[in-house]
Chains A and B, each alone.
Chain A
Amino acid sequence: MFDWERVLKTITSLYGISGEELSVANWIQKEISPFVQKTYINTLGSLVAIKEGVGKIKGKLMISTHIDEIGFVVGAILDGGFLKVEPRGGVDPKILQAQECLVRSINGEMLPSVFSTVPPHLIKPEERNKVASYDTLILDTGLSEEDVKKRIRIGSPIVFKAPFISLLNNRFSSKTLDDRACATISIATIKELTKIYHEWDIYFVFSTQEEVGLKGAGTSAWEINPDVAIAMDVGFASQEGYVGLSLGEGPGLAVGPNFTPKIVKDIRDVAKNESIPLPIEPSARPGGTDAGAIQVSRGGVPTALISIPIKYMHTPIELLDLKDCKYTVRILTEYIKNLDTEYLEGLKWS
């Protein structure tokens, strides 16, 4: 049995801000090496793992999940050693007051820090309704100015510090479930594939720099030149004020201009045959996931996107339901079983 909790807990705790994902890539590489034929880390740092199939004429399926996490970098060091920060990836400044973070020092230590707040007693009435912005937020490491200047510089990365917690109904909350939860699904799928017969070569890409422009997936797709690609990312689950996917009721399958209808249909049929819930996620706008970059790589790659519903995206308390992860492993495995020479032939567009 795949130990979801162990892997999720470890993988979300690893440091891997966009652009510095190496420790995540290395950990995954160790975790999956026994189960795949080849792994390597490419130019922009994405980890590629190839699970070879046994077919004679075989296609390439790329499964992409990103391993970078959002965070900040030090924008300036102020008098007293206080830090100003700039976001790396989209972080809402409103949620930051009183959050705990870790600043990665020049020597690689993870220094604890907190975002400042003004106590309610002192706040002026006219300031009460003011929204926090990066102009005013201050990060405090508790270190002296001298010490800060020795250990931290402009550009030093900062990530959320958040515990991995277990909730009711097999739900978990942590930072970085976006998108390490999907990376975990890829790992689980790799292990599952050792038990089945499959013809195609499956390229699992653990991509970098998704949060800052889909960079790792686009360049990896160019390098691999796959016949079909499936990107997995987190999607918006219904929560107060928003109606979307529902936790525990299956991953979403994106439909819309950026997703190739044939692949979408085939994945849907697999889910239907296996009675796995796979609600449709309508995506009329050009998407901000790896799928968007992969589909237009070279002469075009037939691409689909599977979304794992999570709540509270891009915060340190992202929340998912394990059922959705398990459903996804089954969908991927069953889809991969169908991939044969005939399927490859069927992809000839004209």
Chain B
Amino acid sequence: MVLKELCNLYGVSGNEGEVRNFIRNEIKDYVDEIKVDCLGNLMVKKRGRNCSKQIMFLAHMDEVGLMVEKIEKNGTIKFQSVGGILPSIFPATNVKILGKETLSGVIGIQPIHLQKSVLSPIKMDSLYIDCGANSDTELNGKIEIGDYITFITKFSQLGDLWEGKAFDDRVGCSIMIDILKENITPEFDTWFVFATQEEVGLRGSITASYHIKPDFALVLEGTTACDIPLVERNRYTTQLGKGPAISIAHNGLVFGKKVFTFLKNIAEQKQIPFQVKEKISGGNDATRIAKAEKGTFVGSVSVPVRYIHSPTSVMHPEDYINTQKLAMGIFNNSQNFFNQ
């Protein structure tokens, strides 16, 4: 399993090169074809015994992050967020600016003593990165406007759980790599797409679907879990430790009964614990894939992740194992989807 390595890599949407190179290197010996398109999607093929259908597994490589918007005269840096991040998680966070040089920085905030009102919400306007510079000229040639900025949390053990950044969706990437390394020849040609730009409008999957034209696709995701105290049970969405979450519907798509039943049956047959995602807010690449070209069958299976879209997300190792088992089951049995 390379989840740890994957999560420690930097790959904010649009800047997925480091992740792509790592994955490519990991899987190159196990695949029959490797393609990269101009959006940066890494698409690899496992040739099947039968090429009459194309199966597609897809996970996105990109993670949420930040971008340099402006360098102030005093050497502080204003930023935009890349992907959906709540302003309230930014203060007092460590980041790295990936410019010509890589600079460490912190996101500053006024000490509590100086704040007019502790109760007022954090606004993006008030946030800035401090990388120790005294003036903008000190930063000349080191970083510039438009450079990507990333969270830097390292993968670690948190009690029985795992903590890290970018579980959304390196966990999907990692499971796809696991499957590839098993080096099993599937019934049908099976593509594994490591997609880009999911967090900024589900864009990589648009062109990937166009290239591959899948007959059946499965999106492997890291999804919201909110199973914490003070949140009502009916807003949990998913829970850690209860196995992969199968989606019924999310923003912009209802998953077909045929797909939903197929995924559920595999989990039941293989006695893999699973849960149904209980909220439909949020969406993922499945929405794009379903509508691509003449339309296709698509399903979505996710690993529950707490504190998603923050530098410190948390997941359960058993969910990883069970999602991997389910994904493997789908990989090995995708031909059955068409015989239902």
* Residue of A260, A279, A285 touching B80 (CB-CB under 8 A): A285
Q: Name the interface size band of chain A.
A: 20 to 34
Q: Is the beta-carbon distance between B37 and A257 smaller than 8 angstroms?
A: no
Binds A, one of B180-188, B196-204, B220-228: B196-204
Q: Is the beta-carbon distance between A301 and B38 smaller than 8 angstroms?
A: yes
Distance A282 CA – B79 CA, assembled complex (angstroms): 9
B14 interface residue per 8 A CB criterion: yes
A75 interface residue per 8 A CB criterion: no
Binds B, one of A23-31, A136-144, A292-300: A292-300
B106 interface residue per 8 A CB criterion: no
* Residue of A243, A284, A285, A296 touching B203 (CB-CB under 8 A): A296
Hey, which chain B residues are within 8 Å of A169, CB to CB?
A: none
Q: How far is the CB of B292 from chain A (nearest CB, A)?
A: 10
Binds A, one of B67-75, B165-173, B261-269, B295-303: B67-75
* Residue of B13, B37, B62, B201 touching A349 (CB-CB under 8 A): B37
Q: A258-B14, A349-B36, A350-B36 are in contact. Are A299 and B207 (CB under 8 A)?
A: yes
Hey, which chain A residues are within 8 Å of B210, CB to CB?
A: 298-300
* Residue of A255, A259, A292, A299 touching B37 (CB-CB under 8 A): A299
Q: How far is the CB of B232 from chain A (nearest CB, A)?
A: 32
Q: Is the beta-carbon distance between B38 and A256 smaller than 8 angstroms?
A: no
Distance A18 CA – B114 CA, assembled complex (angstroms): 51
Q: Is the beta-carbon distance between B35 and A258 smaller than 8 angstroms?
A: no
Q: How far is the CB of A242 from chain B (nearest CB, A)?
A: 11
Distance A174 CA – B206 CA, assembled complex (angstroms): 38
Using CB atoms, name the residue of chain A closest to B14.
Answer: A257
Using CB atoms, name the residue of chain A closest to B62.
Answer: A257
Using CB atoms, name the residue of chain B closest to A298.
Answer: B210
Q: Is the beta-carbon distance between B37 and A279 smaller than 8 angstroms?
A: no
A313 interface residue per 8 A CB criterion: no
Q: Name the interface size band of chain B.
A: 20 to 34
Hey, which chain B residues are within 8 Å of A95, CB to CB?
A: none
Using CB atoms, name the residue of chain A closest to B288.
Answer: A296
Contact with A along B6-42 (1 / 0, CB 8 A): 0000000111000000000000000000111111000
Q: A284-B82, A349-B38 are in contact. Are A296 and B145 (CB under 8 A)?
A: no
Q: How far is the CB of A277 from chain B (nearest CB, A)?
A: 13
Q: How far is the CB of A256 from chain B (nearest CB, A)?
A: 6
B319 interface residue per 8 A CB criterion: no
Within 8 A of A (CB), among B48-96: 62, 66-70, 80-82
A286 interface residue per 8 A CB criterion: yes
A14 interface residue per 8 A CB criterion: no
Q: Is the beta-carbon distance between A282 and B37 smaller than 8 angstroms?
A: no
Distance A281 CA – B68 CA, assembled complex (angstroms): 10
Q: A257-B82, A299-B207 are in contact. Are A284 and B67 (CB under 8 A)?
A: yes
Q: Is the beta-carbon distance between A300 and B37 smaller than 8 angstroms?
A: yes
Q: Is the beta-carbon distance between B201 and A286 smaller than 8 angstroms?
A: yes
Q: How far is the CB of A46 from chain B (nearest CB, A)?
A: 21
Hey, which chain A residues are within 8 Å of B144, CB to CB?
A: 280
Distance A258 CA – B196 CA, assembled complex (angstroms): 10
Hey, which chain B residues are within 8 Å of A301, CB to CB?
A: 38
Q: Is the beta-carbon distance between A256 and B34 smaller than 8 angstroms?
A: no
Hey, which chain A residues are within 8 Å of B62, CB to CB?
A: 257
A16 interface residue per 8 A CB criterion: no
Q: Is the beta-carbon distance between A302 and B14 smaller than 8 angstroms?
A: no
B142 interface residue per 8 A CB criterion: no
Q: Is the beta-carbon distance between B200 and A300 smaller than 8 angstroms?
A: no
Q: How far is the CB of B126 from chain A (nearest CB, A)?
A: 15
Using CB atoms, name the residue of chain B closest to A259.
Answer: B14
Q: A280-B144, A298-B207 are in contact. Are A260 and B38 (CB under 8 A)?
A: yes
Distance A349 CA – B15 CA, assembled complex (angstroms): 15
Q: A280-B144, A350-B36 are in contact. Are A257 and B200 (CB under 8 A)?
A: yes
Identify the interface centre among B62, B81, B82, B211: most chain A CB within 10 Å of its CB: B82
* Residue of B70, B81, B196 touching A243 (CB-CB under 8 A): B70
Distance A33 CA – B272 CA, assembled complex (angstroms): 67
Within 8 A of B (CB), among A233-259: 243, 255-259
Hey, which chain A residues are within 8 Å of B201, CB to CB?
A: 258, 286, 292
Q: A280-B144, A282-B67, A282-B68 are in contact. Are A258 and B200 (CB under 8 A)?
A: yes
Distance A347 CA – B70 CA, assembled complex (angstroms): 31
B132 interface residue per 8 A CB criterion: no
B146 interface residue per 8 A CB criterion: yes
Q: How far is the CB of A217 from chain B (nearest CB, A)?
A: 15
Distance A315 CA – B80 CA, assembled complex (angstroms): 26
Hey, which chain A residues are within 8 Å of B38, CB to CB?
A: 260, 299-302, 347, 349
Q: Is the beta-carbon distance between A257 and B68 smaller than 8 angstroms?
A: no
Identify the interface centre among A243, A261, A295, A300: most chain B CB within 10 Å of its CB: A300
Hey, which chain A residues are within 8 Å of B68, CB to CB?
A: 282
Contact with B along A284-318 (1 / 0, CB 8 A): 11100000100110111110000000000000000
Hey, which chain B residues are within 8 Å of A279, CB to CB?
A: 145
Q: A285-B80, A296-B39 are in contact. Are A257 and B146 (CB under 8 A)?
A: no
Q: Is the beta-carbon distance between B67 and A258 smaller than 8 angstroms?
A: no
Distance A173 CA – B37 CA, assembled complex (angstroms): 42
Q: A296-B206, A299-B211 are in contact. Are A282 and B39 (CB under 8 A)?
A: no
Q: A280-B144, A282-B146, A300-B38 are in contact. Are A257 and B206 (CB under 8 A)?
A: no
Contact with A along B256-288 (1 / 0, CB 8 A): 000000000000000000000000000000000
Hey, which chain B residues are within 8 Å of A258, CB to CB?
A: 14, 197, 200-201, 203
Q: How far is the CB of B59 from chain A (nearest CB, A)?
A: 17
A-B contact pairs, 28 of them (CB 8 A): A243-B70, A256-B14, A256-B200, A257-B82, A257-B196, A257-B197, A258-B14, A258-B200, A260-B38, A260-B39, A280-B144, A282-B69, A282-B145, A284-B80, A284-B81, A285-B80, A285-B200, A286-B201, A295-B39, A295-B203, A296-B39, A296-B207, A298-B207, A299-B37, A299-B38, A300-B37, A347-B38, A350-B36
Which 3 A/B pairs are nearest by Cβ-Cβ distance? A257-B14, A255-B146, A300-B207
Chain A positions within 8 Å of B, measured between CB atoms, are: 243, 255-261, 279-282, 284-286, 292, 295-296, 298-302, 347, 349-350
